[in-house]
Amino acid sequence: METIPISKFKATCLALLDKVKRTGQPILITRKGDPIAQVIPPAPSPPPQSWLGSMKETGQILDDIISPVVDPTDWETLES
């Protein structure tokens, strides 16, 4: 693990954060030789979930879905 004094960390903070992310190696920050903080890489993010099947089991059938909506005797086109 790399050890860096706080003054150097302050001067090169962004570059050091990029280095930690790139290499995955933590950095220990010290003040007068005493450790005060540790910069560690973030945990790997989970892979994105597929949108396929995301609505599974969220629908609900409330009525009869097979029968016609209106009575067939009400249809004018069926009379001829």
- What pTM does this model have? 0.55
The ranges assigned to domains in the chain are 1-41
Q: Give the class (CATH, top level) of 1-41.
A: alpha beta
Digit-by-digit pLDDT tens for the chain (80 residues) are 899 999 999 999 999 999 999 999 999 999 999 999 999 998 888 888 888 888 888 888 888 888 877 777 777 765 65
**pLDDT (0 to 100) of residue 50:** 86
The Cα–Cα gap between 22 and 3 comes to: 17
Residue 14 DSSP SS3: helix
Q: Strand order of the sheet with strand 2-5?
A: 2-5, 27-31, 34-39
**pLDDT (0 to 100) of residue 78:** 58
